[in-house]
Structure 1
Amino acid sequence: MKDKSIGIILGVTTGLLAGYLASTLYMSGKIMPGTVINGADFSMVPRSELNDRLSAMERDAYAITVRDIHKNELTINGADIDLNAEFPVEKIRVQNPLIYPYYMLNPGNYFLEPDSVSFDEEKLKSIINHDLLPAEGSTDAPVDAFLTAYIPGAGYTIAAEEDGDTPDPDKVTAVIEDAITERAVFVDLNEEDCYLTADIRSNDTLLNQRAATLNEALSASITYDFGNQKIILNSDTYYPWLDKQEDGTVTLNDEKVDEYVTELKSSTDTAYTTRSFKTVSGRIINVKGPYGYNISKKKEIEQLKEDILSGLPVEREPVYTTSGCQRSGNEYGNTYLEVDMSNQKVYFIQDGNIVFTSDCVTGNTSRGRGTPTGIFSIMYKAKNVVLRGRDYASPVTYWMPFYNGCGFHDASWRGSFGGSIYRYSGSHGCVNMPIPKAKELYSLVEAGMPVITYY
C-alpha cells in the first residue's frame, strides 16, 4: 500500500514536471506573461514579432497636426503614410521560460522609443499637395520693398515689402518630413519659415542709400528773383529730372533741364520783345531791340544743375547775357538816351529829367543806311578811335557804340547838324554830333545805359 502511494506521488510529480517542462518549451522565444510594453500587454507574443507589433502600435497611434499661415490645420495620421518604426527590442531582456511563474508574479513594464521611423514619401507628398498646399495662383506672391514715386512734401519713401502667403513646396515637404522623423506631433509652417518672402527688405542698405541720395537732391530749391516777382523751383517740379544711376548716384536729365530753362527764357526774357515808350514829345511808341533781360541759356543750365545737386536753398537772379535797369515798371528805368531821328535830336534823360540836348545827323536814309530804330544799350565808350568801313576811315575823339557798329561820336568834318541833312548826306548809320556835345555826352554815359532810337 505504501509502495502504491509512492507510485502515485511519483506519477503525479512526473506528470506535473512533464507539464511544466512542456509549458516552458511552449513559452520559449515568447514574451513572458504579464509583460507590458509601451502600455500594451505583450504576454506570449513571440520576440520575433515584437518590432512589428510595436511598429503597428506606433503607426496607429501617431498623428501630426500641421498649421498653415492662416491658422488652418491638417492632421496626418501614421496610417495615412504607412509609418514604420524600428525599435531597440534588444533592450527587452531575454526572459527564462523555466521561471515563468516568477514573471507572472513580477510582471515587467517597459517603454521603448523607436530608433528610427520611416514612411511612404510619395503618400506624404500626395497629402501635402492635395490637402495642404493652396491651388496655384490663389495666393499672394511676395513683393520687394521699393522706392515710391515722388510724393509732394515727402519726397521718395520706401514702400515696405509684402511677404504674402505663398508657400515654398519643397520647404514645406522637408519640414514635415523632418518633423515626422523626429516624431513631432505639431508643426507651424509659418514659424518654420516655409513661405516665400521678399528678397529686398525695407531696411536694405542700398535701397535706403538711394532714397537718401534722392531726397538730398530734393532738398534743393531755387528762388528766381525777377524784381517784381519771384519764381520758385523746388522738388515738386524738378523731381522727374533726377536720373538714378546704378551706383546710387543721381544725375539730372539734360533734356528736362533744357526744357525748363527754355520755358523760363520764353516767359521772362524782355530783350527783343516789343515795349511801349513815351517820347520827350509825349508820343507813345513801340520799340523793339536787344536791350533788356536775356537769360544765357547755356550758363543758366549749368548753374541750375549745380544748384539742384548741391541740395541747398538758393535765391538768385538768372544768369543773364544782358539785363535791363529794373524789372518793375519800364525796364529801361528813368535814365537813358533818346534819339528822335525825325527831329534829329539827342536827349539825355536823367532821373526822368532832360539834362542834355543836342542836334545830330543820323544815318543816310536815301542810301538805305538809316540808323536802326529800337531799344539798345551803350556797349562801351572809348576815346581817339578810327572808325573804318569799306570806303572810309574816320578818326573820332569820342566813341560810344550801341548796336552793330553804330554809335554816338563827334563829327569834326560836318559844318552843321540837325534839320534834314540825314536824308541826303547822313552818316553810315552812326549818330554824328558836334565835338563839344559829344564830349559832354561822353562824360554822362556809362556802359549798359539804354539807348532808344525812333523816327
Structure 2
Amino acid sequence: MTDGANSTDGATYAWAPPEPKKRKNRSGLWIGIPAGATAVALLAASFVLIAPGASVAGVQIGGLTAGAAAQAISDRLANTSIAVESPAGSVTVTGAELGATVDAQAIADKAFSENPMWKPSSWFPEGTGVAINVDPAKAAAALRDLAPDTYKAPVDATVAYDAGSQSYVATPAQPGEGIDPAAVTAALQSAFDAGTVNTTAQAGVVPVEAPVTTEEADAAVAQLNGILDNAGFYVGDERTVPVDRATAASWLTITPDGTGDFAISADEAAIQQAVAGLPAAVDRGAVNADVIVDKGGEVIHTNTEGQTGRALGDTTGIAAAFASQLAEGNGRFALTVSETPFETTKTERWIDVNLSTQTTTLWQNGQVYRSWSISSGAGEHATHTGEFRIGWKTSMQDMGCVPGYDYCTKDVPWVSYFNGDEGFHGTYWHNNFGTPMSHGCINMTISAAKELYDWAYRGTEVSVHY
C-alpha cells in the first residue's frame, strides 16, 4: 500500500522542514548613515561660516558665522582698555565707556563674502583694518567723571528778550576745559588696529566747546527778531493789524534743547485776545475814488483814493493757526477776507488858450468851466503855440530881476508854468486884458490866476493856438 508521505513523485513531505530563506546584509546601510549626515552638515556649514584664519583687528573670526563674528569684534572693542596719562594723573577708560563703535556686522558680512569656508583658496586671509567711531559727548563725559579736577564745564550760549532794545539778544558761549578726547581716541584706534586689549595714551588738557554755540544762538536770535520785525495780521501785503514787538515777544517761549536747537512755542490764549479785536480793525466799507484825468483818461491828480471794502468773517481757529506758524518762525499771518470793490469818479480837465481872441478857457468834462480875457506875449515875445502841460507852480515869484532879462517885476502872484518860462499868472500892473502885453506869459487878473492855479493840477493839458 502506498502512503502519500512517502511518495517520490516530487511532493513536499510534511515532516521535512523547509530550507530557511537567506537574510539580506544591512550593515553597510547602518554604518553609512552617520558618515553621510556628517558630510552634509559640513557642507552646510561651509556655506555659513567664515574661512579659517580670518581675523579683524586681532579678533579671530575664522569658523564663525557672520553674526558671531560681529559680536566678537564689538566685544573686543568694548573691552579694550586705555591707561590715560594726564595732568590729573593716570586714569583708565574702556572702549565701551568712550562710546566706541564699529559697523561690526557690515565688517563680518564682508569678511564672509570675501572669505567663505567653502572656498579653500580664501582660507587664512590677511587681517582687516577697521575705523572706530567714538561718541564725542560720551567720551567727554567719561573722561570728566574719571578726572574731575581737570574739567571745567563750558557755558552754553543763551537767548533772551531785551525790553530796552525790544529785540532778542544772545549771550555768547564760554568754552570749558577737559582731557583731550582726540588723543585717547587715537590710542584706542592704534590698539584696536594692533589687536591688543591694553594700551596707554598721553593726553593734555584742551578747550571743551559748549554744546550750544554762540553761532547757534545768533541764528536763533536772527530768526526771532525776524518774527518781531514782521509780526502782525496781513491782508495781502498790507500789515493791517500790526503786533508790537513787546507783545509778540510776550507770546513766545524759547526752549533750548542743549544741543544747539532753540524750540519756539507760542501762547494760543494770549494770541486769542488779539484775535478778538480783529473784526473791528479789519472790517471797513468801500470808499469810491475821485480823480482828475486828462483828455486821454490818464489820472493827473487824485482827490480821493479808492478803497476796497472788506469783511473778516469767522475768526475761529486763527489763534491756533498763528501759534503754530510762530513756532515755525513766521510772524506774518495772512487773513482771509471778503472784499467789496469801489467805484471811480473821473473828472476830465484841460485848458485852451486862443491867441486870436486873447481868451483862456477851462474845460471840464467837455463843457466850459470858466473863460477869461487875457494878455499874451507881444511882438518878438509872442507866446509859443503848441500842446503843453502844467508843470512847476508857485504862489508868488519875482520875474525878470536877474541878469539877461530887460525887465523886473516883483511879487508876481499865482504862477502856473506850462512851457519853460511861459505860464499863467496874476497881473497887478495893467488892466488892458484882451490885448497882447507880456514878455510871453499869459497875463490874467489876480482872481482868475488864483482860480486857475487851484483848478489846474500839475499835468493838466494846455493847448495854445491862434
Tell me if both proteins adopt one fold, taking TM over 0.5 as the criterion.
no
Q: Which has the larger radius of gyration?
A: 1
Give the TM-score normalised by the residue count of structure 1.
0.30
